[in-house]
Each structure stands twice: as C-alpha cells, then as structure tokens.
Chain A
Amino acid sequence: MKSSRIPPFRVLPVLGLCLSFIAGNLLAQQGPRVGPVLTAPAAPAPEAAAAPAVTVVDVPPPESVQTDLSEIEFDAIVRVEVDTKQPNYRVPWNVGGMGSGNGTGFLVGPNRFVTNAHVVSDSRLIYIKKVNDPKPYQARVLFVAHDCDLAMLELESDIDFETGFKDVQPLFIGGTPKLNTTVIAVGYPIGGDRISVTRGIVSRIDFRAYSHSGVDNHLAIQIDAAINPGNSGGPVLQNNQVVGVAFQGYSGDVAQNTGYMIPVPVIERFLKDVEDGSYDHYVDMATSVLNILNPAQRRALGLPNDDIGVMVADPDAAGSAGGVLKTKDVLLSIDGHPIASDGFIEIDDERVDLNEIIERKFAGDTVDLEIWRDGAREEVTITLKRFIPYLIQAVQYDKQPNFVLFAGLQFQPLDRNMMAAHNITDLNTRYFYSFFAQDEIYRERPQVIVLTEVLPDSTNTHLQSFVHRVIDSINGKKITLLQDVHDALHGDFHEDGNEEFHVIRLEGETRPLVLKREDSLLAHERILAQYNVSSDHFIERPEILELEGLIKLEEDAAADDAGKPAEDSAEADKKESVKTPEPAKKAA
C-alpha cells in the first residue's frame, strides 16, 4: 500500500564503510514502488526463494554443507579501504567532510570486484588489499547501483592485477540457499585486522527495505551468522560458492542475530545489467494495488469467485503503467502467472510477490498483463522503465549539491539530503516532498526549488523569516528548475512595473520577497567575500527531465536569451558511475 505518512527526514547512518544498520519499520512506509508495502501485510511467504535469473545451481541438502575452509579462495576476498568526501548540503559550496572506512569485496572475474554501493559511496580514493599481501592496490568504481546497494570495482592498473591476482580464482556465484542450511560470512569486520569467518544458517527469505537508498525494496536473505561493520560487501558462502553479499543488519538493541545479505537473483541482475557498459537501474510498475479479499469488492468488479486478481488503485502517471492501467482494473495474470487475490504468484513451485516478475526485468523489457476491465478480459503489454519521481526521497550519493546563491539568498532543489541537512519542517515544503510523485507535482515543477538559507546582509535582513519556503516565481519567471533561478536573476526578466526590483514570489505566500537590483549586485559580491563562498552556483541537469513527455515546461526559448550556464553542466550523469562533477563556475 502506498502510504501517505511522511517519511523520516533523517538520512540513515551509512557510516562510511560500515554496515548500514536499518530502522526497519520506518523504511517499509516509504517508497511508492510496487513492493511488499503495496499489498496487505500478509504473513511473509517463508519459502519465497526465487530461482536465480541466470545460473541455477543445485544446492546440496544441509547435511552435506561444507565445513572445511581449506578450499575457500581467501585471496579472492579483499579488504576495501576507502577515503570519502561527504557533500555538504547545508553549505553547498564547501568541499564537505573527509572520512574513511573499510568494507569487503570479492573477485568475480578478471579485474572485477563486487562490493556494496554503500562501501564506496562518496569515495575519493579506494585501495584494495589481499589477505596475505602487504601491497595496497589502488582501485576505482566501475559501476554503482545505489538502488540495490551493489558496486563493481576494478584495479586502476591492469599490471597490478596481473601481478597481484595472477593465480587467484574468482569466486563462483551460486544459487539461493534453502532455509536452515549453513552459510559462512567472510570479510574484514571490526574486532581485528585479519580476515574473519562467521557461521550461521539461513533464517528467512523475504522482500526487505534496502536501507542504503532509503526507498528501495528487494529480495533479501536473513541469516544468523554475525554480520558486523566491515563485513559489508563481503561474500556469504555455501559450499565454496557465493550465495549472498552481506550488507545490513540491526543493531544489537533492536534484534539479535539478524544479518541480511543480498541474494543471488539481485547480484545476477546487477551483473547482467552492467554487461552493456552502464547501469540502468531497477524498473518499476509504480502502481499501487488493493488485494481482492472482500466478497463485495469481487461482486462489484464483476469477477468470478476464483480468488484471482488484485485491483489497481493508483497507477503513477510517470511510471511504466501510466496511461495503460486505470483505477479499478483488475490484474489477473502477469507473464502468464495467475495472480492470486493476495498479490502472490507461483514461480517454480514457490509463492512469491507478483513484483518478483518485475524485479528480474530490465529497462525496456516488457511485461504482459491480463486484466479485467469493465467486465471483460483484455491483454496489455507494458514497457518497463525506472520510476524517477521517487528519487526525490532517495538518499543521494556521489553528487555535489546543486545550488544558486544570489545576494545571500541560497536556493536548492528539494531532495532528501537537502531536507535533512536543513532540518526542514515547513508544512508546505513537506507536502511538496512527500507528494511529489503521488500528486504528480513533477508535471508542473520537475524541480521544486527551496529558499534554504539567507546569509544575513543589510540588503536581505528582513527576509530571514522566509527560509525553507518553496519558490513560485522570480521576476515573473515560473521556477520549475534550478536553472530558472539562475536565469531569472541574471537574465532579462522582470515583473511589469517593478523593473528596478528582483521580485521573488513564494508558493502559498502573498508577501513577495523584493531586492533592489542595483543594491543586490553589490551585495552579492560583498556576501561572497564575507561568507567565504567559493562559488555562487552549481547546476546540473536533473534526472527527472528524462520524463520528457509528462513535464510541462515554459518554452525553452526563454532559457536561450538568459545565457548559457545551463550547458556547462547539462550533461546528465546517465551511467551513475562515480564521476566527479565539473567544478562549479562562478557567474558573471
């Protein structure tokens, strides 16, 4: 079920390279994604083990589970040491805090290492170390998937790899282990410097929130082997094969002996996704459904009494099913799998959430649905894509905060990092944050721009009380992107009759903010010097603009006469590989 509860503002403590300890119940409330939050919280299917999409490996029964460690290729299991630079969304022109930490990774192919995304997020320097080798090897991120907390690394130098890993065999990716079978987690957790092995069993296989992004849910496997900070990114093995990547757990005062690993279907999907040289993210139906357990509901929809079908409640316009599915449609089957009235389907004799079909697909893939609409069967095909509007509530990594500073007024686009950094509680602004996707705010405002700070100066001293409010227009120009703020203040825009003023109008506020043009230019330079501001704007093209058809922007012509700063950094970071954005340019 989609929840209208406001998500927590705090960014989860992804402690450098430590395990991200999750705050379970808060997370389940968030995403607009089709996931376990979407259906009524029926008892989790304990055996919802999905077969891997790519390789199926028969896992032997528990009694034959390996206990001999001598066959494990410890040299393929590496310590990943990372120095990070965390962006500062409060003071966006600052470089940000430096930190460091470590996690674990493992070799999966020639110069290809897998680890967790949260191990290498916001990294500026990465070294990989082997268990019995003093040499640190410098590495870089090839691909990072923040939505499923996985990343792929390579050593910077091929020669390093040839010499250091010449005889090291990559680990073999196995399958999904059965409940109550033994697994061992290998890695470099706290408590010492040498490699560590812990043992446990598979406790549960279920859909879970992945805490790294704060908005994603995927299949996860719960194990009772100790998983501690530093285990992150390390392999969990059964019979010398990787059956998971250790990634998150509860702190001891919440629940005991519950560690989570990313299961093989998710790992395989990541590996397959990046085969073409870019990571294209998970796709999403972005449709909320209601189980059809109520007899009156079944009769009203004209359905036979066969316990089949779930009712479409609210398809997001920007999602894959937007324009195809409608409220009151009934989903009868998905890719030929009949959908039970509780939202479950059967794959390989296992009952799994219908969403598992979508989980295994890629951007551009299609899904065939049999639906019941107005009393008749129909077949529809949906082309799957990523649901971008939900990113506003996702924790951002590897990005430099975007902002515009003008005469002490600091403008930033609304997102989770910014909300947390400024601790924004303004009701109106919270509405834009919480309902950005659901109320399709992105159609009018692909970016919601907030006045996040006023650096006090004689020119703006009365404007302090308007911080944290959403900007509606500046100098007559509707603000739908951060670029608009820059254009409206630096370009040829003015309100008729108010030529000598900069006029900033806030959403839901009739008292406009006004600055004298001639004063504000002087004040601008003065404030930059006084507050040690290294750059007065940093603007990138937001990902949301990929939703071209749905967004109503003012004619792009307006941007042309306003100058070119947009093009400087307009290149979208499509691959989401870690790439330091170009340094911000100073305006004028």
Chain B
Amino acid sequence: MSPFSLSLPLIAVAAVFALLAPAAAAQESSPANSLVRVNATLQDYSFLRPWEKGAPTPRRGLGAVLEGNRVLITAEMCVNSTFLELEHPSSGARIAAKITGIDYEANLAVLEPADSNSRVFEGLRPLEIEDSVKSGETLNVWQVEDNGDGVSTDVEVLRVDVGRYFIPGSVFLLYQVKGSLQARVNSFTLPVVKNGKLVGMLLSYSSKEQTAGVLPSPVIKAFLADLDDGDYKGFPNLGIGFAQTLDETFREFTGIQNQEGGIFVREMAKGGSADKAGIKEGDVIFSIAGQPIDSRGNYTHPAYGKLSFSHLVRGGAKVGEKIKLDLIREKKPMTVEVELTRKMATDYLIDPYMFDRGPKYLIFGGLIFQELTLPYLESWGKEWTTRAPFKLVHANANPHPLEEEGREKLVFLSNVLKTPSTLGYEGINSVVVTNVNGTFIKNIKDLAAAFSAVPADGLHTIEFDDYPKVIYVDDRASRLINQQLIQYGISQLERLE
C-alpha cells in the first residue's frame, strides 16, 4: 500500500476537526452541526404482481435536526421505506430510525432514532425555525460534503406562490428560488436556512433553469404543531374546483358585473368541506374568511402579495375550524359557514395516492382482482393517461357515476394467470367487476365474502361491466389452484386491509 493512501484519511479527519471547533465555539448552527444524513431504502409494491415488491432502491437526503433529537425530512424520502437510517454528518455514526409523524400531502416527516442511546446527535444542535421570508431575500441551501464539511449555497427568493409538492392535486405554499446548486451524495432533500435558522426544505431543482421549489417554514410549523398534540389531523381542504371570472361577458351572464373579483365553482369534491356545507356548482365565491378573492382566485397576503385562495384554507386554518364564505348563488348574495375537513386518500373511490402499503388484491384460482388506485394507473409510466386501460383512466376522471351505483372502491379484474381453472379466460384484463354470485361488489372485502360462500352448484358467477360480461369458475378447482399458487411461490393470495 502506498503511503499516500494511508495519509489521506488522516488529513480528512484533521480537516473536520478544524472546521468543527470554531463553529462549536460560536454556538451557531452550520451545515456541519445541524444536519444529519438520512439514508433510506425504499421498496415499491408491484401492481402487476401485487403479492410482490420491487427491487430495493436507496435514497439519500439531509434532515434538519430539531429539538428533542428529532429529524425533519420530506415525506417523499420515506415513501414505501423498508429501512431508514440516520448518520452523523462527520463521524459517520449511524442508527436505525423510525417515522414518528408523516404527512404525504404536506410532504413532511419527522424521524427519531429507534434507540435513544446513540451518537448520531453528538455535537449537533437543533435548528430554530424562522418563517419571515420575502421575495428578493437570499437564503442558504445547506449541504454536506463526503468528508463532513458543510457547504452553504446562496439562493434568491424569486416569489412566494402556491404549488404542488409531490402528490397530484395537493397544493401548498411554495418558495420559488434561483441559484446554482451542485449534486452531492445526500441531495434528495436539503434544508434551507436564513441566518442559521430553518426556513424550508428544498423539494426539486431544475439544473437547466437553476430554479428550485422550497417547502416553506409556515407549513413545517403547522405540521409540527399538529403533531405535538398527539392527534394529527392534517391540512384541511375546501374541496372545490373553480373557474376564473375574468370574462366580462360571463360576469354579466352570471349577474356579477357590479362586483369585484370572485371565482365560479365548477366542481365539488363529493363529501368534501364545501360539499358538506352546501356549496353548489355555479356559486360565485367573493370572499373566504373575510379576505376578498379576485377574478383569478387570489387574495392579497400581507407578506407575500397575491396568493391563491387555497392558502387561506391550507395555510390559515385547521381541520375542524369554521370559516365564512361570501358568495352569490343565482344572482343572490349569501354567506355560508364551512367547517373545514380533510378528505383522506382512502375516502375517495379511487385513492389518489397510496404509500407504505401494497395494493389491495385477491387471487382466486388465477384470477387477479384489485382495487383501483391512481398509483395503479401511474404504474403505466409517464404517459399513463394514454397507455393505461382507458376505461379505468376514464373512471378515475369521472368517479361520480360509479359512486352513485353504491361503490366504495372500484374492484376490477386486473389480469388472469393461466391455470386449469381460468382456461379460456387468460386474455381478459382490466374489467370492472359488478356482481359475484348475484352480490354487488362495493369493495375487495365484498369480493372475498362472495367467494367464501360456495353456491349450490359449486360454480361462481363473476359479472363485469364490459367484455366478456360474465365468466364462471369452479369453486373446488379454484381452491386447489390457490394452494398450488402458494406452492409455486406466490406468498400471499390476498391483501384486503
């Protein structure tokens, strides 16, 4: 071994000490003493073979150290995680971590070491949270080099806006920043600070545009406060889709030509806050919680300026709170009080997201049934709206008629394993189940119950809304196949919860 390779680690260690010493003396937060590396191992569930999980993949980010040996990270870091680990930025001390709070909509998670007896937080100090950020200000994105050295990169706040984090249709406050960042090992999410205090978590970075989105501290604060009381409620949702009212002719038609601003309610989320409060399609909302809403759907925030009204609900109110909406319905003004609720992913006919659990499915004699979720459709790739089975894509976009039929979830035959029991059916896929043995199927549990009762002739009748309309399978043969499938290595024939 050459002398160079021996001496190199020594130099590296020396450098770390040199950096740490002055920082500790100044009692100030720095990249090297307020961050921990978070090493996650993720394993996605398979939709094609719902009893399987895919190949494990690593994801590495940086978490912000909070009071009480807690680490703040984006929820995206922990999606379908099988193993989470905290690592001291310089000493490399590691410990397994557990999630103590997570909200995929707000894209935030809090991790704690699984064992409190650890050296991971040695010499580290928690970050304080600062939430006054304005456009034009300079923030610092913190990173850590391989050797534990801290790196701070300046970024400029371009504007404060409302935007998507990572779940489609879920929008929150967002800082748009500009600056030149370099990829380093733990770069998946990065803490952003101002004057040594945490102001956000970097979500995404476009190297072409040199811009990034930052999940801001007001959302972080609300998330942590909600967690603190031990009963996490999440961020509320008004549950409306709206149209702008810039069109003067349309304003006149709607009878609002003498009013200022206002948004036209185009659609309602069934069972959402607005729906429960009696808001109707066609209403024009002029103010929310006392704030006038302009024709584009914005209000004027004291610090950030024009901001989407959704921040009044998500950023300004909590689940259970009541807010007042001033609106015009059929040309008559009225005020409606709305109690804010949060519609959970599982409250939808087709779950808009699903993490940390696999798809619900049932295999019977080789027929594979599943409950439809948006992630199932998204498993067709970026172009899923054109590549996934169109009838299912359409159902996702138009769930109301299916809900009207009394369905809670959409159960469909995803594909067929060729077995003696499914002979002749192997080409059938992606059809929605309506009845089994005459019983309407509202969810996968109904399906399991229907198969568990054996009809007198020993034959199950499965009806679909589409080709081939109806198939029959033999109960005894199917159960025999089920046993064989287990022997062939299908670990689990159903996941109903």
Instruction: Kindly supply a per-residue 1/0 record for chain B positions 127-140, scoring 1 wherever the CB is within 8 Å of any chain A CB and 0 otherwise.
Output: 00000000000000
Across-interface contacts of A434 in B (CB, < 8 A): 390
Q: Which residue of B lies closest to A290 (CB)?
A: B468
Q: Which residue of A lies closest to B248 (CB)?
A: A462
Given contacts A425-B386, A462-B246, contact A293 B423 (CB under 8 A): yes
Across-interface contacts of A337 in B (CB, < 8 A): none
Across-interface contacts of B423 in A (CB, < 8 A): 293-295
B424–A4 CB distance below 8 A: no
A503–B390 CB distance below 8 A: no
Judged by a CB distance under 8 angstroms, whether B355 is at the interface is no
Chain A nearest Cβ from B64, distance in angstroms:
40
Q: How many chain-B residues does the 8 Å CB contact rule pick out?
A: 45
Chain B nearest Cβ from A388, distance in angstroms:
20
Q: Which residue of A lies closest to B242 (CB)?
A: A511
B253–A512 CB distance below 8 A: yes
Given contacts A425-B386, A427-B385, contact A297 B472 (CB under 8 A): yes
B424–A288 CB distance below 8 A: no
Judged by a CB distance under 8 angstroms, whether A292 is at the interface is yes
B424–A427 CB distance below 8 A: no
Across-interface contacts of A311 in B (CB, < 8 A): 468
Across-interface contacts of A300 in B (CB, < 8 A): 457, 459, 461, 472
Q: Which residue of A lies closest to B385 (CB)?
A: A427
Judged by a CB distance under 8 angstroms, whether B266 is at the interface is yes
Across-interface contacts of B393 in A (CB, < 8 A): 427
Q: Which residue of A lies closest to B473 (CB)?
A: A296
Across-interface contacts of B264 in A (CB, < 8 A): 511
Across-interface contacts of A301 in B (CB, < 8 A): 472
Judged by a CB distance under 8 angstroms, whether A477 is at the interface is no
Judged by a CB distance under 8 angstroms, whether A574 is at the interface is no
Judged by a CB distance under 8 angstroms, whether A509 is at the interface is yes
Distance, CA A169 to CA B427, complexed state (A): 51
Distance, CA A438 to CA B431, complexed state (A): 14
Complex partner residue of A462 from B250, B252, B265, B390, CB under 8 angstroms: B250
Distance, CA A297 to CA B365, complexed state (A): 14
Instruction: Kindly supply a per-residue 1/0 record for chain A positions 1-33, scoring 1 wherever the CB is within 8 Å of any chain B CB and 0 otherwise.
Output: 110111000000000000000000000000000
Q: How many chain-A residues does the 8 Å CB contact rule pick out?
A: 47
Complex partner residue of A510 from B267, B390, B391, B397, CB under 8 angstroms: B267
Q: Which residue of B lies closest to A462 (CB)?
A: B247
Q: Which residue of B lies closest to A293 (CB)?
A: B424
Distance, CA A357 to CA B330, complexed state (A): 61
Distance, CA A516 to CA B247, complexed state (A): 12
Q: Which residue of B lies closest to A40 (CB)?
A: B427
Instruction: Kindly supply a per-residue 1/0 record for chain A positions 272-300, scoring 1 wherever the CB is within 8 Å of any chain B CB and 0 otherwise.
Output: 00000000000000001011111111011
Instruction: Kindly supply a per-residue 1/0 record for chain B positions 247-277, scoring 1 wherever the CB is within 8 Å of any chain A CB and 0 otherwise.
Output: 1011011000000000011110000000000
Main secondary structure of the interface of B (DSSP, over half): mixed
Instruction: Kindly supply a per-residue 1/0 record for chain B positions 80-94, scoring 1 wherever the CB is within 8 Å of any chain A CB and 0 otherwise.
Output: 000000000000000
B459–A5 CB distance below 8 A: no
* Most chain A beta-carbon neighbours within 10 Å: one of B252, B266, B386: B386
B471–A297 CB distance below 8 A: yes
Instruction: Kindly supply a per-residue 1/0 record for chain A positions 293-315, scoring 1 wherever the CB is within 8 Å of any chain B CB and 0 otherwise.
Output: 11111011100000000010110
Given contacts A462-B247, A509-B266, A512-B253, contact A313 B468 (CB under 8 A): yes
Q: Which residue of A lies closest to B460 (CB)?
A: A296
Distance, CA A41 to CA B252, complexed state (A): 59
Chain B nearest Cβ from A59, distance in angstroms:
36
B424–A297 CB distance below 8 A: yes
Given contacts A462-B247, A514-B253, contact A295 B468 (CB under 8 A): no
Across-interface contacts of A292 in B (CB, < 8 A): 424
State which residues 347-384 of A face B: CB under 8 Å. Answer: none
Given contacts A300-B459, A434-B390, contact A314 B253 (CB under 8 A): no
Complex partner residue of B469 from A293, A327, A427, A503, CB under 8 angstroms: A327
Distance, CA A511 to CA B284, complexed state (A): 11
Chain B nearest Cβ from A361, distance in angstroms:
24
Judged by a CB distance under 8 angstroms, whether B30 is at the interface is no
Judged by a CB distance under 8 angstroms, whether B398 is at the interface is yes
B430–A4 CB distance below 8 A: yes
Distance, CA A498 to CA B385, complexed state (A): 38
B398–A508 CB distance below 8 A: yes
Q: Which residue of B lies closest to A459 (CB)?
A: B249
Distance, CA A301 to CA B390, complexed state (A): 31
Q: Which residue of A lies closest to B424 (CB)?
A: A293
Chain A nearest Cβ from B131, distance in angstroms:
35
Distance, CA A285 to CA B461, complexed state (A): 26
A296–B459 CB distance below 8 A: yes
Given contacts A4-B430, A41-B427, contact A294 B472 (CB under 8 A): yes
Chain A nearest Cβ from B101, distance in angstroms:
36
B470–A2 CB distance below 8 A: no
Q: Which residue of A lies closest to B476 (CB)?
A: A296
Chain A nearest Cβ from B10, distance in angstroms:
60
Judged by a CB distance under 8 angstroms, whether B227 is at the interface is no
Judged by a CB distance under 8 angstroms, whether B358 is at the interface is no
Distance, CA A6 to CA B393, complexed state (A): 11
Complex partner residue of B470 from A40, A291, A328, A428, CB under 8 angstroms: A328
A288–B474 CB distance below 8 A: no
Across-interface contacts of A425 in B (CB, < 8 A): 385-386
Across-interface contacts of A512 in B (CB, < 8 A): 250, 253
Distance, CA A556 to CA B157, complexed state (A): 63
* Most chain B beta-carbon neighbours within 10 Å: one of A6, A296, A462, A512: A296
State which residues 410-465 of A face B: CB under 8 Å. Answer: 425, 427-428, 430-431, 434-435, 438, 459, 462-463
State which residues 164-205 of A face B: CB under 8 Å. Answer: none
Judged by a CB distance under 8 angstroms, whether B422 is at the interface is yes
B394–A431 CB distance below 8 A: yes
Q: Which residue of B lies closest to A9 (CB)?
A: B386
Across-interface contacts of B422 in A (CB, < 8 A): 294
Across-interface contacts of B424 in A (CB, < 8 A): 40, 290-294, 297
Judged by a CB distance under 8 angstroms, whether B477 is at the interface is yes
Distance, CA A292 to CA B247, complexed state (A): 59
Given contacts A294-B423, A296-B474, A297-B424, contact A2 B467 (CB under 8 A): yes
Q: Which residue of B lies closest to A514 (CB)?
A: B253
Judged by a CB distance under 8 angstroms, whether B243 is at the interface is yes
11 A-B pairs within 8 Å (CB atoms) are namely A1-B427, A4-B431, A294-B473, A296-B459, A299-B457, A328-B470, A427-B394, A428-B398, A463-B247, A510-B267, A512-B253
Ranked nearest first, the 9 interchain pairs of A and B with the lowest CB-CB distance are A293-B424, A462-B247, A300-B472, A296-B474, A290-B468, A313-B468, A294-B424, A511-B243, A514-B253
With A294-B422, A297-B472, A462-B246 already in contact, 12 other A-B pairs whose C-beta atoms are closer than 8 Å: A6-B386, A6-B390, A40-B424, A288-B468, A292-B424, A314-B469, A431-B390, A431-B398, A462-B249, A462-B250, A509-B266, A511-B250
List chain A positions with a Cβ less than 8 A from chain B: 1-2, 4-6, 40-41, 288, 290-297, 299-301, 311, 313-314, 327-328, 425, 427-428, 430-431, 434-435, 438, 459, 462-463, 498, 501, 503, 508-512, 514-516, 519
